[in-house]
Amino acid sequence: MTLFRDIPIQIKLMRVIFLVSGIMLFVTCSSFFAYEFYTFRQTTIQKLSTLGEIISTNSTAALAFQNNEDAQEILTALKAEPHIVAACLYDKDGHLFSQYPSILPLHALPVKPETKGFQFVNSYLEGFQPVMQGSKQLGTLYLKSDLGAMYERFKLYGIITALVVAASLLLAYLLSQILQKSISSPILALAETAKAISDNGDYSVRAIKLGNDELGSLTDAFNLMLVQIHNQNQTLSEFNQTLEQKVKDRTIELETVNKELDSFSYSISHDLRAPIRAINNYINILLEDYTGQLDDEAKRLINIVISNSQKMGTLIDDLLSFAKLGRKDLTKTSFSMKLLVESVWEDAYRLEQNRTIEFILDELPDTYAEKATIQQVWINLISNALKYSRKQEKTVIQISWEDQDKEIIYFIKDNGIGFDMQYYDKLFGVFQRLHSPQEFEGTGVGLAIVQRIIEKHGGKIWATSKPNEGSTFYFSLPKKSL
């Protein structure tokens, strides 16, 4: 059945029709044949017994008056029936009286007459018929017929049956080829349409309905489905388009707002720098020129003002540089990353002379980027690494890289205090800090600046860490495109 399951529906239908008609033909022909076989046997017996009746009626006188010649003559008439192979007459005492044909092998005839009636023995039909005159039996007739007639008849039937079966099967084949189309062609058309649709994605195509049967309703349902899909697709694409438009609009709005925000923060920082410088300058003048007139409490308060205004200055500078990044275009050059890192490290390390630091710097590949901003990245990352590992007895900082297909990933690993990954979201935000200023100084702008620089270069920045086990900061830069 598995074999049947996978063959095309056309062949399946034809086979079904063929098989059914074949079986029906076979059954019909065999019952016809069986009936013929039975009736023909009966008819043969009947014919032979009729013949026996005629012969025996004719041979009564010959038997009564013991006239062998006449009996012989009567029996010889049997030659008109070629299938009679032997015949004989016995007298009333059961002695052989006359035989046909006149020359017969010794044991061809029964020695004595037996019971009345005909029966099939081997491939012969033979039997005995009493010769009666009135109610008196004068003798017995024996007849033996070969079944040639029967076999000839059956042969003829066989040939006719074979011809009929062949013709019927041929007709069934031709008819099934025509008739199966009424079922298979709508299915095939439907399948073809479905395939065309799935291949081309064109939902405006419609299957052609070929009738009002179940296949017709299937086609209708299929077409209705297509209409629905088509409509849904249209709605979906319309929706998509409006969405896209909306996204575009929003992006433009956002960009505008961002630009405004950038220029706002730039001008703010820029404008704030002048007054803070003025405050610093004048406070310094106050401290220098009026030292004698100020008591210690006044000096202490003034120093607090100085420290805070310096802090504010740093903050404003950071903000300014962060804002600047949004406005400037990058001017990229090829340079040695390793030399850059070394020089940044030298500067940073100078401030930490009294610490035990192991610094591992691998051979870094050259890069193509804006040197000044990348330097800023390294300054921030290295100073962070030094800052957050300050409490360690021995600081270990490693800078290395990985090659990844189209970009190079640089990373810096420290053994500092690390951070909890659940606050990762805050890591690169402006003014976002995971530690208090009392614990570790800083404005919270540094990593935001780093992120901005890296993103501007088309790279990415991320970090992994565990509290008290150090952090690793990664950033990727695209390789110079050829």
Partner 1 sequence: MSILTIYIHHRLKIPLLICGILLLCSQAPSTREYQIKAVFLFNFTQFIEWPSHSFENAQSPLIIGVLGKDPFGNSLGDAVNNEKVNGHPLVVRRYSSPEEIEDCQILFINLHDPDKVVKIIARLKGKSILTVSDDNNFLKQGGIVRFFTRDNKIQLQINPEAAKSADLIISSKLLRLAEIVIPKTVK
Q: Does 70 bind partner 1 (CB under 8 A)?
A: yes
Cα separation, 457 vs 340, in Å, equals 17
Residue (65 or 292) nearer to partner 1, CB: 65
Task: By CB under 8 A, name the one of 6, 65, 289, 436 that touches partner 1.
Answer: 65
Look-up of token digits 């004595």: 112
**Which residues, including other chains, have CB under 8 Å from residue 417's CB and lie 6 or more apart?**
388, 389, 391, 435, 467, 468, 470
Alpha-carbon Rg for the chain, nearest whole angstrom, is 60
Give the chain's count of helices (H) and strands (E): 10, 12
- Least distance (Å) between residue 98 CB and partner 1: 13
Among all chains, which residue has been given the structure tokens 């299938």?
A: 83
Choose between 67 and 400: whose C-beta lies nearer to partner 1: 67
Name the amino acid, one letter, at 121: V
Q: Between residue 126 and residue 145, which ones bind partner 1 under the rule CB under 8 A?
A: 133-134, 136
96: contact with partner 1 by CB under 8 A: no
Asked if 409 and 402 touch (Cβ cutoff 8 Å), the reply is yes
62 touches partner 1 (CB under 8 A): yes
* Span interacting with partner 1, options 54-62, 155-163, 341-349, 355-363, rule CB under 8 A: 54-62
Buried b (16+ CB within 10 A) or exposed e, 125-158: bbbbbbbeeeeeebbbbbbbbbbebbeebbeebe
Q: What are phi and psi of 416, to 5 degrees?
A: -80, -155
Number of residues that bind partner 1 (CB under 8 A): 12
- Do residues 208 and 219 make contact, with C-beta atoms less than 8 angstroms apart? yes
Pick from 43, 60, 137, 223 the residue near partner 1 by CB under 8 A. 60
Q: How far is the CB of 102 from partner 1 (least distance, A)?
A: 17
Stretch that binds partner 1, among 63-71, 156-164, 270-278, 377-385 (CB under 8 A): 63-71
Judged by CB under 8 A, the residue of 64, 149, 305, 361 near partner 1 is 64
Query: Which residues have a Cβ under 8 Å from the Cβ of 480 and sit 6 or more positions away?
Result: 334, 367, 368
Quick check: 58 binds partner 1 (CB under 8 A)?
yes
Kindly state the smallest distance separating residue 135's Cβ from partner 1, in Å: 9
Q: How far is CA 461 from CA 378, 449, 469, in A?
A: 13, 11, 20
Q: How far is the CB of 32 from partner 1 (least distance, A)?
A: 44
Degrees (nearest 5) of the Cα angle 261, 263, 266? 105
Nearest to 58 by CA among 144, 126, 128, 133: 133
Kindly state whether residue 28 participates in binding partner 1, applying the rule CB under 8 A: no
Find the shortest distance in angstroms from Cβ 64 to partner 1. 4
Q: Which stretch binds partner 1 (CB under 8 A): 5-13, 64-72, 281-289, 365-373?
A: 64-72
Between 139 and 186, name the residue whose CB sits nearer to partner 1. 139
User: What's the min distance (Å) between Cβ of 80 and partner 1?
Assistant: 18
Name the residue nearer to partner 1 (CB basis): 72 or 314. Answer: 72
Shortest distance, position 52 Cβ to partner 1, whole Å: 17
Closest CA to 141 of 99, 93, 106: 99
Q: For the CB of residue 62, give the shortest distance to partner 1 in the complex, in Å.
A: 6
- 113 touches 126 (CB < 8 A): no
Minimum CB separation of residue 73 from partner 1 in Å reads: 9
If the CB atoms of residues 60 and 185 are measured against partner 1, the closer one turns out to be 60
Binding site for partner 1 (CB under 8 A): 58, 60-62, 64-67, 70, 133-134, 136
